[in-house]
Amino acid sequence: MIGCGSMGGGMAMLFAEHGITVLLNDPSEDTVNELLGNAQKDGIRHKMGKHQSYEDLCKSLDSPKVFVFSLPHGTVGDSVVEGLHPYLEKGDLIIDASNENWQNTQRRQGKLVSQGVYYIGMGVSGGYQAARRGPSMCPGGEDRALDMVLPLLRKVAAKDSRGKPCVGRCGTGGSGHYVKMIHNGIEHGMMGTQAEAWQIMSLGLGMTYDEIGDEFAMWNESGELKGTFLIDIGAQINKQRDENGKHVLSVVEDKVVQDIDGTEGTGVWSSLEAIRLHVPAPTLSDAHYVRIASAFRKDRKRVKETFGGHFPLEKWTGSESEKKSLLEDLRKAVYAAFLAAFVQGINIIDLADQENKWSINFSEVIQIWRSGCIIKADYIGDMLEEIYKKPKDTDRDLLHNGRIAKELSNNFPALKKMVAMGVEKNAIIPSLSASLEYLKYSVNTILPTSFYEAQLDYFGKHMFDLKSEPAGEPVTGKHHFEWKAA
């Protein structure tokens, strides 16, 4: 195990607990010693050892050698591969369990193939708790390499309610890290949506943390949000108190800094991929923009002073029966946005799969997401599992699926109602409103872009299609009008 922080350390103990001898390597000796101390408490210290040099580490491993990386994304992985290079032999296997950029993964795979060394890019989800007790894992690479590691990974992976392991053969190349990257983009869209609902309940409806916790718990028990990990932990977070009886949430600042401090890159990459592949993914991207804005709290304070105040969320007034109805609309709106996030994310994966010829197994991907991961959502998982049981035809856009269309259509009125109320009351609702607009423009055949296209043709001679012509592919039109002589 190279990299023994919270994720790597948790996985090291998980492997040891399942009878695997694990040798540890980390730049920080204190980190390794702390991990060994925890292993001692759990009775698995005898299955773990530490090595400071790559040479010593490699000499202590059987053949073929198996390495698991849990490292910061970027150049650190390159440095480790370079350091190991003199000691690697044909048949050795590296499992990169970091949140690495898929392009780095493919580059390293290409570099090591001449040496006969397998490199698997494996997304790991569920946080440090799941890393210790059984995460969701998404490995991608050569079939031979996956054949070698899947028996072990199935043993330690999270299990769904049916006892099936949440790990599988994702695809070839960098598909494992790509799917995990988009998983995190979906995660950001879901978290943004839920945070917006939380603030509507807290500031708009005046609900206490305990009341919000009860509401989330109720959402998690039945209906479309049943068995949703983020809803479940949302209930716990709202109810959690410190040793003095104070709600922990009450002292948490409104700053998400992981995109800025470099510890998290997947949200940025997923938005970039949506743009590069021309996939509308506003639920994912708009949630990310708020994360970015939140990080710069000092700047927001200055802007507020410049404006002479802000646009406060206004209290909602209504009877208890009206409040109950509103909360039900809010639940449906959250579900609609969650589903929109899944649709957008999977459509990105699908286009990347076609481009890279990874042969992604979407049925396996849905199983990987069934438990042990942040985007676990039982109702949506059941629906997607049923969809991907059927052989795929050439039409792979989830918005063309009748079941998905019905779910989004049925919940559209509630989403629209909550966005309208949010706008009126100054609620901060970028993910909810982006999801609404996404549905509106995705199903509409009378967009305002006729005017947009005419302007492009006016000043740039960019050409246009005629309404009288059949709907075509996204290619340059054949018509130009000389709006004004040069």
What values do phi and psi take at 297, rounded to 5? -60, -40
Q: How are strands ordered across the β-sheet holding 118-125?
A: 66-69, 93-96, 118-125, 136-140
Structure tokens at 431: 């993910």
Q: What does the pLDDT look like over 358-402, one tens digit per residue?
A: 999 999 999 999 999 999 999 999 999 999 987 665 567 899 999
Residue 265: predicted pLDDT: 81
Residues designated as active site: 180, 187
When pLDDT is cut at 50, 70 and 90, the band that residue 261 belongs to is: confident
Residue 395: predicted pLDDT: 67
When pLDDT is cut at 50, 70 and 90, the band that residue 486 belongs to is: confident
Whether 167 contacts 122, CB under 8 Å: no
Task: Provide, for the chain, the percentages of residues in helix, strand and coil under a 3-state DSSP scheme, each rounded to the nearest 5.
Answer: 60, 10, 35
Average pLDDT over residues 400-406: 95
Structure tokens at 183: 């998983």
CA distance 274 to 279: 5
Strands 93-96 and 118-125: parallel
Q: What does the pLDDT look like over 188-217, one tens digit per residue?
A: 999 999 999 999 999 999 999 999 999 999
Q: Where are the alpha helices (DSSP H) in 42-160?
A: 54-59, 75-84, 102-113, 127-133, 143-156
Distances (CA, A) of 176 to 77, 134, 168, 469: 16, 18, 10, 42
Average pLDDT over residues 37-62: 94
What values do phi and psi take at 401, rounded to 5? -85, 130
**Widest CA span of the chain, in angstroms?**
84
CA distance 17 to 312: 52
pLDDT more than 70, % of the chain: 99
What is the DSSP code string of 255-296?
A: ---TTTSSS--HHHHHHHHHHHTT---HHHHHHHHHHHHHH-
H or E element in which residue 426 lies:
none
Whether 220 contacts 231, CB under 8 Å: yes
Residue with tokens 């996985």: 11
Which of 383, 376, 387, 189 lies closest to 281 in space, CA to CA?
Answer: 189
Q: Which residue has the higher pLDDT, 259 or 60?
A: 60
Residue 131: predicted pLDDT: 87
Q: Where are the alpha helices (DSSP H) in 357-401?
A: 362-368, 378-387
Residue 93: predicted pLDDT: 97
pLDDT more than 90, % of the chain: 91
Which of 411, 234, 218, 202 lies closest to 316 in space, CA to CA?
Answer: 202
Whether 375 contacts 229, CB under 8 Å: yes
Structure tokens at 410: 């049925």
Give the global pTM. Answer: 0.95
When pLDDT is cut at 50, 70 and 90, the band that residue 80 belongs to is: very high
Average pLDDT over residues 281-298: 96
Least confident of 121-135, 153-167, 382-396, 463-477: 382-396
Residue 262: predicted pLDDT: 77
Q: Is the dihedral of CA 188, 192, 193, 198 positive or negative?
A: positive
